[in-house]
Amino acid sequence: MTAADRPALQAIAVRAGYRRRRRHPAVTVLSDVHLAARPGELITLIGPNGAGKSTLLRTLVGAQPPLGGRVLLDGHDLAALSPRERARRLAVTLTEPVDVGMMSVEAVVALGRLPYRSWIGRSTARDRAAVDRALVDAGVEELRHRGLGDLSDGERQRVMVARALAQEPAVLVLDEPTAFLDVARRIELAAMLTRLTATTGAAIILSTHDLAFALRRADQVWLVGADGAVTAGAPEDLAYGDAVARTFTGENMSFDDAAATIVVADGGVPGATVRVAADGRVRQWAEHAVRRAGWEPTADACAHVLEVEAGPPCRWRVDGAAVPDADRGRGVGFESLVGHLRRRATSLPEGVRAGRPRFPD
């Protein structure tokens, strides 16, 4: 195997867990784990709470030794590397905020060069170039002279990624990097990480609870199951092969292929269907409102027909040849549509009652 083909990080028959006090047996959380992170890949680590994601991550970065098997970093046994050698190949960014006092952004990013400096601690031209490049790659160059404490959560997260990039690692590991970010900042971070895999050639591994992000962005997904098994593969393979559904679905939940996420699937109004007569975005959100009201949109012929005219605000009308007068209605806006459909549920055939909507989890 050439250096170009060699995984940046590899787990070989790893048994992950923790050792308790003496005379007590070790506790195994995950067994026989085989994983390979290749250069230039974005890898997401997902799984239910308590399945062992954090235990696996700590084992892969050397924060705790494996109970069995080996972890290889750039072809070298992780356990045999010195802290300095490990830091030159592996960078880790944690969710918890780091207290760096009154340091500027540039000074914080420069901390990533410590593994390369001599005991004197002086920075070189290469160090300064690496810091400049990391600031640009992480999109925080304009924040260079600001204090870290003055930044937003999203900006701080980018700065910590820049610090990790300054290490020039072969592997970058991020623990829940989107945990405290709003939707816009999550999208920005996701786009940045995707770009960095191409520009830096590093393998980027991140743990996340955002299933839709994991399936839409990742080159590879590491799926930790509640049974202690870890399955690795392309997101499409894991979703199509039902591995994701088996891991995350439970009572009243199912995996929605179109939304690439878990949805509540405990019904709605049994037998309550409506055909939506609309196009484009107005149809999409009309069907969204219909489901929220507990009904199910259908393309098949049925008694209830919902006609929606684009707005905003939209105008709607529920009609149909076999629809009782009490079920007919018209109005303006989706709020009034949902209210109408929920009230009309009581006039459907006997035994039909309003249920909970099918909605993304």
151 and 105 Cβ atoms separated by less than 8 Å: yes
Q: Is residue 259 part of a domain?
A: no
204 and 307 in a single domain? The answer is no
117 and 189 in a single domain? The answer is yes
Q: Give the confidence band of 292 by pLDDT, cuts at 50, 70, 90.
A: confident
Q: Is residue 256 part of a domain?
A: no
Q: Is residue 4 part of a domain?
A: no
**In this structure, what is the dihedral angle of CA atoms 218, 220, 223, 224, given to the nearest 10 degrees?**
-110
**Closest by alpha carbon to 327, among 335, 319, 315?**
319
Read off φ and ψ for residue 26, nearest 5 degrees: -65, 150
Higher pLDDT: 264 or 188? It is 188
241 and 338 in a single domain? The answer is no
205 and 94 in a single domain? The answer is yes
Give the residue-averaged pLDDT of 296-305. 85
65 and 142 in a single domain? The answer is yes
d(CA 125, CA 127): 5
d(CA 214, CA 235): 8
Q: Do the bridges between strand 42-46 and strand 203-207 make them parallel or antiparallel, or are there none, so unpaired?
A: parallel
pLDDT, one tens digit per residue, over 126-185 is: 999 999 999 998 889 999 999 988 888 888 888 999 999 999 999 999 998 887 778 888
pLDDT, one tens digit per residue, over 219-276 is: 999 999 988 899 999 999 999 998 998 898 776 677 878 778 877 654 566 678 889 9
C-alpha dist (Å) from residue 227 to 29, 50, 179: 9, 11, 25
pLDDT above 50 for 190: yes
Segments forming the whole domain that contains residue 313: 273-347
CATH number at residue 35: 3.40.50.300
191 C-beta neighbours (distance < 10 Å), count: 12
Q: Is residue 114 part of a domain?
A: yes
177 and 294 in a single domain? The answer is no
Domain end, chosen from 251, 282, 302, is at 251
277 and 245 in a single domain? The answer is no
Q: Is residue 336 part of a domain?
A: yes
User: What is the Cα 230 distance to its own chain's centre?
Assistant: 17
41-52 b/e with 16+ CB inside 10 Å = b?
A: bbbbbbbeeebb
245 and 281 in a single domain? The answer is no
Read off φ and ψ for residue 205, nearest 5 degrees: -120, 125
208 and 281 in a single domain? The answer is no
User: What is the Cα 103 distance to its own chain's centre?
Assistant: 30
241 and 282 in a single domain? The answer is no
Q: Is residue 353 part of a domain?
A: no
Q: 66-80, 173-187, 326-340: which range is least confident on average?
A: 173-187
- Per the structure, the count of domains in the chain is 2
Q: What is the pTM of this model?
A: 0.80
236 and 95 in a single domain? The answer is yes
